[in-house]
Structure 1
Amino acid sequence: MDFQLSDDQRALRSGMRDLLGAVFDRDRMRAAVERGGGVDRDRGVDRDRGVDRGLWGELGAAGFFALRLPEEAGGVGLGLPEAVLLFEEAGRALLPGPLVATHLAAGLVKGAAEGEAVVTAAEGGGRPVADLGGADAVLVGGGAGQGPEVLTGEELEAFVAEAVPVRSVDPLTRLHRITGLAEASEAYPGALRREGALLSAAEQLGSAARTTEMAVQHARSREQFGSLIGSFQAVKHLCADMLARTEPARSAVYAAAVTGDPVEIAAAKLLADDAAVRNARDCLQIHGGMGFTWEADVHLHLKRAWLRAARWLTAAEAEEVLAADLDPVRPLYSGSAALG
């Protein structure tokens, strides 16, 4: 059995990397960072400070959101393994916005597949809603065995009216907490929540791989005491540890994309979250004092990794899924039961 990526899959990944390099290069990313961040507690949701619609349209035109829709529905007709490759590249590039929710809503919300509509998600469980400003629709999880409810129009405005801004650790992601509806809703049932967790894990994988590259590049160019810091054993160990975390996470994410198994998805999310957070910390340490500065990009990967680790499936929820699989008699608590 061949577990290598096919030529088409490699071309797809390479094409997405080239596209993101053109439409969301470092200059555009840093400009977005300077515009984002902060919280205006008096204004509620600022509907004018939403996702970059031009960027969203570029992604839609490239088939990012319609990737898994059948061709007869105007999609690309590919599967979850190919979607994972695209989201891995999005994680590398620190691409902002509710990418996962809009991708999952491609067949549910008009214009989402083409990048003409921005869709975010209320995941339930007390989690804040990301990127609510400027969203055209919100997916709200239903009860067990039910699909998500799509809020648009007056329902969306009523939902937004309940939003309270909260400070986000990530300057590229604005957060709002919703009282009532979102808190009372269960987390996503079935496939939607599983796929959301897996695509988020793919983003974490891309970030972990990118911070590993950043650390190695810096170690090869930075001199200290007359030598490249990459020649120091402690730095070598840090870089080796980063690679040793990234590659098992890659195997887990790719395998879960093929099988779609809830337990494998939980394991993939757990490994990818750990790799993204710890790799960003090690990368920051290798960069030394400059790594802590606002101008360096390392802290952006760490902040985004922290944020993603709390989305769709947390470490505690993933551990419950894995524990229940080891002990079938042990019931899953409601927060993770939706994965089954």
Structure 2
Amino acid sequence: MDFQLTEDQRALRDGVRELLEGRFDRAALRAAVDTAERTGSPSLDRELWRELGSAGFFSLTLPEAEGGVGLGLPEAVLAFEEAGRVLLPGPLVATFLAAGEVPGAASGDVVVTSADGALVPWLDEADVVRGDAKGAVPARSVDPLTPLHRLPGGAGRPGSAGEPGTGGTSALLTAAEQLGSAARTTEMAVQYAREREQFGQPIGAFQAVKHLCAQMLVRTEIARSAVYAAAVTGDPLEICGAGLLADDAAARNARDCLQVHGGMGFTWEADVHLHLKRAWVRAGAGRSAGDAEEALAAAL
């Protein structure tokens, strides 16, 4: 069986990457972070949201007869992986899942968030809230580009990871975002290891740094295999396992990337901390690792 991406899938991935690099590059990311720090809350780029809609980002899996692109979950995973690479902010998964059900969601004219967990992201910016967000109060978010509200009493079913239907799809697409972040921090670590010199040679020549970068690559590729496989099968347990691996790869790779950067990695100007904080928020908003492990163990 051939597990390589098809030519059309590679073209889709490259097209999404090109769009995001043109509209949300590092300068745009840092500008969004600076604005959030200055105003106390991030704001959603509605023009970019509509551009994503026009490009078919939110309607990838809708049938062509309904105005969608007519692709499948594997293609959606590729798109969300690219969004994770650049730390694209906003309730992407919730809006994607609402396409075809909430008018304007597919085109990007309407921003949708979901209140199906204890934490509700982007509540103030959303035009439509799916679920009951009554009584939600602002919660401090470690990620400057993901505003959060907490439901009273920690209500909801966090993440619904590994469940069939939209819950499983939500968990899988979130895992794809985590995968994209893990891949990006691996690239950042390797690039810095090649450029930074100590004792007259790049730090990437030192065995300890080589090992860190190699471990990051292994985590990323294992998570990629699991996420891609779960996208093909749609199996709830495979989605559950893919989420565990992707969460681990995103958080641990960001930490190792920080170690490769050394003291520079701890500064606000470095982007490493943004990947680590987003990985924490994504993992914390979904089903806990302990619950996911118990679900997998129960199925053995």
Residues 221-243 of structure 1: per-residue CA shift (max 9 Å, x gap):
10012111000000000001101
**Further displaced range: 314-323 or 73-82:** 314-323
8 A Cα contact 2:240 2:292, kept in partner: yes
TM-score normalised to structure 1 length: 0.84
Whole-Å separation in 1 of the counterparts to 2:265 and 2:179: 21
SS at match of 2:137: strand
1:18 match: 18
The CA deviation at 1:186 is 8.1
Q: 1:303 to 1:33 in 2, by over 3 A?
A: same
**What are the equivalent positions in structure 2 for 1:84-103 lying under 5 Å apart?**
84-103=77-96
Partner of 2:155: 183
Amino acid at match of 1:270: L
Letter in 2 for 1:171: P
Give the fraction of aligned pairs with identical amino acids, expressed as a percent.
Answer: 68
1:30 aligns with 30
Change (3 A) 1:244 1:187: closer
| One of 243, 262, 280 as aligned partner of 2:254 | 280
CA separation of 1:187/1:283 partners in 2, compared to 1, >3 Å: closer, same or farther? closer
Q: Distance in 1 between matches of 2:38 and 2:182?
A: 26
Query: Residue 166 of structure 1: CA displacement?
Result: 1.2
Distance 1:110 1:317 in 2: 34
The Cα shift of 1:50 comes to: 4.1
Are the structure 2 counterparts of residues 303 and 185 from structure 1 closer, same or farther at C-alpha, using a change threshold of 3 Å?
A: closer
Moved over 6 A (4+): none
Describe the SS at the equivalent of 2:58.
coil
Matches within 5 A, 1:60-209: 60-124=53-117, 127-140=118-131, 159=133, 162-179=135-152, 183=155, 190-209=164-183
Cα RMSD (Å): 1.8
| Residues 119 and 285, structure 2, Cα contact 8 Å, conserved in 1 | no
Query: Quick one: structure 1 residues 310 and 22, their matched pair in 2 at CA, closer, same or farther if it must change by over 3 Å?
Result: same
* More helix, by proportion: 2
Amino acid of the structure 1 residue aligned with 2:115? A
Counterpart CA distance in 1 for 2:290 and 2:78 is 26
Q: How far off is 1:123 after superposition?
A: 2.2
CA contact (8 A) 1:39 1:166 kept: no
TM-score w.r.t. the length of structure 2 is 0.95
| Matched-pair contact (CA < 8 Å) for 1:98–1:119 | yes
Amino acid paired to 1:170? D
Change (3 A) 1:169 1:8: same
Q: Distance in 2 between matches of 1:92 and 1:195?
A: 19
Larger Rg over CA atoms: 1
Query: Is contact 2:203-2:209 (8 Å) kept?
Result: yes
d(CA) in 2 for partners of 1:77, 1:131: 28
Give the conservation status (yes or no) of the 8 Å contact 1:277–1:305: yes
**In structure 1, what residue type is equivalent to 2:6?**
S
**Cα–Cα, structure 1 residues 37 and 122, in superposed 2: closer, same or farther, change >3 Å?**
farther
Unaligned runs of 5+ in 2: none
Letter in 1 for 2:147: R
CA distance in 2 between partners of 1:211 and 1:324 (Å): 33
